[in-house]
Amino acid sequence: MKISSSPSPRIGFRSPYSKGFTLVEMLITVAIIAVLVALLIPTVKSGIRSSMAAKGTSNLRQLAQAQMQYAADNNGCYTPMWTPLTGCTWQRTIGPYLGVDPAGKPPNAFYSDLRMDPKSVFNMPDSKPASQRTSGATSIGMNAWMIMPSWDYRTIAVPKPSQIILLGEMPREMSIEGVMPTSATNIYEGFNRSGRTRPLMVFCDGHVEALTPDFLADNPAARPPGQANLWRWW
């Protein structure tokens, strides 16, 4: 019997004809990955903005529905923004209509926590965390013109509910209960929350719109031609 003199195969033996990636091939691969990532980032950011806007829209609709339910139980009146004698805010007043329960905590402290929590229904989901806000700040407020004698929180005073703002997104997190129209102070100038440039507003009929700052102007000269005032009718 003839015994072969060729070396036996060994584990880990690499053929001299096999080769790995060359430096050029690796650079081309890295470049392709970089291009794909660059193309993907805007899409991801756009998706995040859309998701945040959708959640903010949902929050505003829930708040508007709670206001309508409150009005139905209180002679057609929406909640006051703030009651001076008790310090009760509109958020606390409609809390029961949203299933919000203080669960043993003092109501004032409980609702203050909700105002500071960007995950609560009383805020835009992409608002700043509590650690970056002033005390008691929130990002959603009631139409501040509702305190005027011509309105006085009454639903029956609104001639066209689909054209009058009930609640809206604040230009920044603020420790007030009302949201104001654009004016000489230009409070919505440069509005940008997580890349969004159109504040969300919910109207007295419950529908939500994302509006550019010029539509939120109180001065007729600053609004688009023929655009009615969305904050008041008198």
d(CA 97, CA 68): 10
- Which residues have C-beta within 8 Å of that of residue 175, sequence separation ≥ 6? 134, 135, 136, 137, 138
d(CA 165, CA 182): 13
- 178 confidence band (pLDDT: 50, 70, 90): very high
Considering only residues 169 and 32, tell me which one the structure prediction assigns the higher pLDDT: 169
pLDDT of residue 8: 53
Q: Are 158 and 150 in contact, with CB atoms under 8 Å apart? A: no
pLDDT(6) > 90: no
| Residue type for position 111 | Y
The 10s digit of each residue's pLDDT in 13-69 is 455 555 666 877 777 878 778 777 777 666 656 666 678 889 999 999 999 999 999
Read off the DSSP letter of residue 193.
B
pLDDT of residue 45: 61
pLDDT of residue 78: 95
pLDDT of residue 185: 58
Helix%, strand%, coil% for the chain, nearest 5: 40, 15, 45
Q: Count CA atoms closer than 13 A to 72's CA, side-chain side.
A: 7
Q: Are 170 and 141 in contact, with CB atoms under 8 Å apart? A: yes
Using CB atoms within 10 Å of the CB of residue 218, give its burial: 0 to 12 exposed, 13 to 18 middle, 19+ buried. middle
H-run or E-run covering 112: helix 107-116
> What is the value of pTM for the model shown?
0.80
d(CA 102, CA 65): 20
pLDDT of residue 77: 94
